[in-house]
Amino acid sequence: MTATRCGFVALAGRPNVGKSTLLNHLLGRKLSITARKPQTTRHSLLGVETRGETQTIFLDTPGIHRPGRRAMNRYMSGQASSAIRGSDVVVLLTEARRWMPGDELALRRVGEAQCACVCAINKIDRLRDRSTLLPMIDDVRARHDFQAIVPISALKGEGLDALWQEVSGLLPEGEHLFARGDVTDRPTEFFLGEIVREKIVRRLGAEIPHRATVAVERFTTKPHLAEVDAVIYVERASQKGIVIGRGGSRLKSIGQDARADIETLLGRRVMLRTWVKVRRGWTDDTRVLATLGYR
């Protein structure tokens, strides 16, 4: 009889290296929001995949960066560090062009955890000449005693089976922690808020980089309709005006984009209502952060 395996696998790396995209493609569904703006991911997000007797519990982590003075930056840094320390395996993502200073910082955090580590060289689809991967692999191999180095394209799905085989072989034997079919431990309200925040980042990433968050204040479901009330918090009145836009046009577009994704998630028609409120200094107040879900 084949022994069951179960373990935690942290997806770690510098900001915008493709961790959330990788999680979504490994799970075969969109769980983590994505955007081109660095540091879109703020929370460690758990995603579960059970294949046969092996259950892999992935943790999508915020991009590893030097924590700034703001409480929000310290929170994200702490989320990444805690996920790495608590995992059985770490997948360190880097990019298939050159090793960056941010990669070195991420590798240092991983090295401190002293756990099994696989390096995934991401975005190989952007390479014109795949032969340039060979010196990149040699360079990465010289930097750390990785259990394996796997070239991948998270976006195109290349190399993910090979990555899965390497990771699953490193998981410890043990009983599964989640029931078959479970995907995450987060409530639906969390994902509803994240969907709205994703649309804000994608439409306003250059103007409201990290000064907006979303709180779902009401969520009710009926057989053919779900109602969602979401509040978008910003730090200044000027930011509120940017999110709303002239005549409410921008807020309307954000709502339309979010509603489409929420309807796909819930499988029913959705009535989404959004408001924008100013909560001064929320990114640098640990107590306010806690009330907004950053615990």
What span, in angstroms and rounded, lies between the C-alpha atoms of 234 and 273? 17
Q: Where are the domains of the chain?
A: 5-168, 188-291
Q: Tell me how long the chain is.
A: 295
What span, in angstroms and rounded, lies between the C-alpha atoms of 210 and 40? 8
Q: pLDDT averaged over the chain?
A: 92
CATH topology of domain 5-168: Rossmann fold (3.40.50)
What span, in angstroms and rounded, lies between the C-alpha atoms of 231 and 193? 9
Give 78-137 pLDDT, tens digit per residue: 888 898 999 999 999 999 988 999 999 999 999 888 889 999 999 999 998 888 899 999
pLDDT band at 239 (very low <50, low <70, confident <90, very high): very high
pLDDT band at 17 (very low <50, low <70, confident <90, very high): very high
Give the model's pLDDT for residue 97. 84
Give 32-90 pLDDT, tens digit per residue: 988 888 778 888 899 999 999 999 999 999 888 877 678 888 888 888 889 899 999 99
What span, in angstroms and rounded, lies between the C-alpha atoms of 259 and 268? 11
Of 96-105, 128-137, 152-161, 280-289, the range with the highest mean pLDDT is 152-161
Give the model's pLDDT for residue 1. 56
- Summarize the confidence of residues 207-235 as an average pLDDT: 91
Give the model's pLDDT for residue 76. 87
CA dihedral of residues 45, 66, 87, 79 (deg, nearest 10): -40
Largest Cα span, the chain: 65
Nearest one of 31, 37, 36 to 60, comparing CA atoms: 31
What span, in angstroms and rounded, lies between the C-alpha atoms of 108 and 130? 28
State both tokens at 158: 């290349």
CATH class name, domain 188-291: alpha beta
